[in-house]
Homo-oligomer: A and B are copies of this chain.
Amino acid sequence: MNTINESQSDPAEELKQRLALLRDSARQYAGNAAHLKRARALRGTRPGHDAVVWREMAALGWTGTMLPEQYGGTGLGCAEMATICEALGRSLLPEPVTAAAVLAGGAILYGDNEALKAKLLPALASGDLLPSLAWREDTHATTILAVAARAEASASGVRLSGAKRLIVGGAGADGFVVSAQQHGGLALYWVPLAAVGPRLVFHDLPDGRPAADLELDGIEVPAANRIAGPGVAELALARAYDEALIMTAAELHGLSTRTLEITTEYLRTRVQFGKPIGSFQALQHQAANLYIQHRLCQHALQEVVTLLQQPGVDENVRGALASRIKARCADASLRITRTAVQMHGAMGFADECDVGMYLRRAVTLAAWLGGADVHRRRYARLALTEIAA
């Protein structure tokens, strides 16, 4: 891969300016201190986010960023969406934008049921619908394609069986994209909340937001609710998964950035032994190390989203880029937030201190959709020819 862009003209510059505008507006909205207080207050509650804020976000165009205009979206790319997710990460907004708009929304968009797309996607863009992807079964599976749930033809359509776990955003979902095996391979079905009944169980994630477990046995949906059939479903899931990885990485990068800001500010102001603790060289060098991690994330993320703005990126290349950036941002955010707690001393260990919330969100997002170890191995399989072979 050449390290230099080949072309003479500069669409990169244009993109950069668009992103700067987006970033400013997203930060302006998300940066309101009320959001962090809200996030704190919503921990352990159901659905764990605020429906009014969800609609405000939709009005800002965030839930439809990556949807084509024909579905009410703005038809932008990964770079723009990552900029928004970074701003959300900075302020720990609890609304499940990545889970609903990127992961579930992507699965619908990359399916082949036009009628469903026309119905669901504009509602997602407008904030009227919050979909959720129910894919995970075994918590140890390292691929989104490991599915045992089944979909079988029934009198009134399709009957699902099996169980899904750890559905992030599931506590406030209006419906679920469910992956299941059927004759011929993997398929995706749309299961509206009404069809779910009492089969949802909630529990808290480490960051205090809820996740849902969903019992599928006995759920029936019309055959027309098939979002994607064998062949298409795998591709759709893989793409939505990769994009969600990148957005999760962006959220992690945003939260690490903010953690670093909070921490350097603390180092400048907290006085011990008669001087600000930030004047101690040992802490200075630790802070420099964190900053370096932050810059690695920043520039790697920029490279990844820029490469994915190109049309027709190969599936393996996309997967490798997504895993690369998830691994980097997961590692860096854990290191940054852990060290931030340490640098805050006993205060950092108190729940009332914000850095603890940042640590808990980092723990959650770093593990969600697979941790750094999982993604380094996926990267090796997809990108390193010696190992793939």
Stretch at the interface among A24-32, A218-226, A279-287: A279-287
Closest chain B CB from A272 CB (angstroms): 14
**Residue of B with least CB distance to A280:** B281
Q: Count contacts on A: residues with CB < 8 A to the other chain.
A: 5
CB neighbours of A285 from chain B (8 A): 282
| Alpha-carbon separation in the docked complex, A284 to B282 (Å) | 9
Identical chains in the assembly: 2
| Alpha-carbon separation in the docked complex, A284 to B283 (Å) | 12
**Residue of B with least CB distance to A284:** B282
| Alpha-carbon separation in the docked complex, A284 to B280 (Å) | 12
**Residue of B with least CB distance to A283:** B281
CB neighbours of A282 from chain B (8 A): 281-282, 284-285
**Residue of B with least CB distance to A288:** B282
| Alpha-carbon separation in the docked complex, A282 to B284 (Å) | 9
**Residue of B with least CB distance to A285:** B282
Chain A stretch 269-294: residues in CB contact (< 8 A) with chain B: 280-282, 284-285
Closest chain B CB from A369 CB (angstroms): 29
| Alpha-carbon separation in the docked complex, A63 to B282 (Å) | 47
Closest chain B CB from A371 CB (angstroms): 22
CB neighbours of A284 from chain B (8 A): 282
| Alpha-carbon separation in the docked complex, A281 to B286 (Å) | 12
User: Interface 1/0s, chain A 159-193, versus B by CB < 8 A?
Assistant: 00000000000000000000000000000000000
**Residue of B with least CB distance to A279:** B281
Closest chain B CB from A288 CB (angstroms): 10
User: Interface 1/0s, chain A 243-286, versus B by CB < 8 A?
Assistant: 00000000000000000000000000000000000001110110
Chain A residues at the B interface, C-beta cutoff of 8 Å: 280-282, 284-285
Q: Which 6 pairs show the lowest CB-CB distances between chains A and B?
A: A281-B281, A281-B282, A282-B285, A280-B281, A282-B282, A282-B284
List 6 A–B pairs whose Cβ atoms lie within 8 Å, in order of A's numbering: A280-B281, A281-B281, A281-B282, A282-B282, A282-B284, A282-B285
